């Protein structure tokens, strides 16, 4: 039986993402991918579109940090050759933009937490007074105003997040992973940036017990229409809920099954013991001897 591989994937979607305020995601936190019928400047971030090895078979597509997930796929041999790829320079540009968006998202979340948290009581004379919401946000997130991955701010831990609220079937660009240089131990800022880039490249150390099993294809032309990312994650949530609701019944069924298996094993072991003990030539000979003695 073939095994399963686990993949961290970013899903593409048609049309400019609207953002998700509840997840601290803005419309600008997305990257356009050629071909585009809209002028690049029409994108809220003004970012230059990613240029794959050949234009995608769909127009006006975007990559967003709101549409990432972990999936599993069967291990299988294939002779298919990827026809849509991203070169290393494009990969680097994409990863930098993703890291920037993640830091922006973390900062927005930290600011929201700071604004909702009660102010500290003034301390004794000589001690610093309560920090402002902006300063508190910086303390919480560990990031300053400089959001660029190569900035000199105290970069906090950044990580791609798996959102089960918006995404599409995994149909997108094939790209090879890049090596990440060793962090400079003497420079904490560069170390944080390297860690952020590594997490953006490989999805961090996240893992999820629940992940859908999907099939990948290199033939993007076979996908006539892209589904809305939100529909995919709604389906994921529905399946996850079914699994959670069934978990107690599955646990009970497995316990009963295990109990039955133990009972059958004990009966088989007892029968084997009886056969080897009372059915052995030595036992029968001893029984005949005892009968003669009586």
pLDDT of residue 92: 92
Statement: residue 154 has pLDDT above 50: no
Q: What is the pLDDT of residues 2-41, one digit of tens each?
A: 678 888 888 898 888 888 888 898 888 889 998 988 765 6
- Taking only the tens place, the pLDDT of each residue in 247-273 is 888 888 888 888 888 888 888 887 777
- For residue 253 the two structure tokens come to 């069924």
Q: How far apart are CA 193 and CA 150, in angstroms?
A: 6
Secondary structure string (H, E, C) spanning 166-178: CCCCCCCCECCCC
User: Which of 31-40, 199-208, 235-244 shows the lowest mean pLDDT across its residues?
Assistant: 199-208
pLDDT score at 246: 85
Phi, psi of 152 (to 5 degrees): -105, 15
Stated pTM of the model: 0.55
Question: Rounded to the nearest 5 degrees, what angle is found at the Cα of 77, between the Cα atoms of 74 and 79?
Answer: 130
Q: Which of the pair, 263 or 293, is modelled with greater confidence?
A: 263
């Amino acid at each position: 039986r073939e095994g399963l591989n686990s993949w961290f994937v970013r899903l593409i979607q048609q049309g400019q993402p609207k953002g998700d305020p509840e997840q601290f995601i803005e419309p600008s936190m997305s990257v356009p991918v050629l071909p585009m019928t809209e002028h690049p400047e029409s994108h809220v971030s003004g970012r230059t579109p990613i240029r794959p090895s050949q234009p995608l078979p769909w127009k006006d597509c975007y990559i967003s940090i709101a549409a990432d997930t972990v999936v599993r796929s069967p291990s299988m041999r294939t002779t298919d050759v990827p026809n849509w790829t991203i070169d290393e320079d494009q990969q680097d540009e994409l990863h930098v933009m993703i890291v920037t968006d993640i830091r922006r998202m973390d900062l927005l979340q930290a600011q929201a937490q700071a604004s909702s948290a009660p102010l500290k009581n003034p301390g004794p004379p000589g001690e610093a007074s309560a920090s402002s919401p902006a300063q508190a946000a910086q303390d919480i997130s560990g990031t300053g105003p400089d959001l660029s991955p190569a900035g000199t701010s105290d970069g906090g831990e950044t990580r791609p997040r798996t959102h089960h609220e918006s995404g599409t079937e995994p149909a997108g660009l094939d790209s090879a992973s890049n090596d990440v240089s060793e962090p400079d131990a003497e420079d904490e800022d560069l170390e944080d940036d390297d860690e952020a880039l590594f997490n953006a490249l490989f999805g961090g150390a996240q893992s999820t017990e629940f992940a859908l099993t999907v099939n990948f294809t290199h033939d993007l032309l076979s996908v006539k229409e892209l589904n809305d990312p939100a529909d995919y994650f709604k389906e994921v949530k529905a399946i996850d809920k079914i699994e959670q609701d069934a978990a107690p019944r599955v646990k009970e069924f497995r316990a009963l099954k295990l109990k039955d298996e133990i009972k059958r094993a004990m009966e088989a072991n007892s029968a084997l013991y009886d056969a080897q003990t009372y059915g052995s030539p030595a036992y029968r000979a001893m029984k005949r001897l005892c009968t003669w003695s009586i």
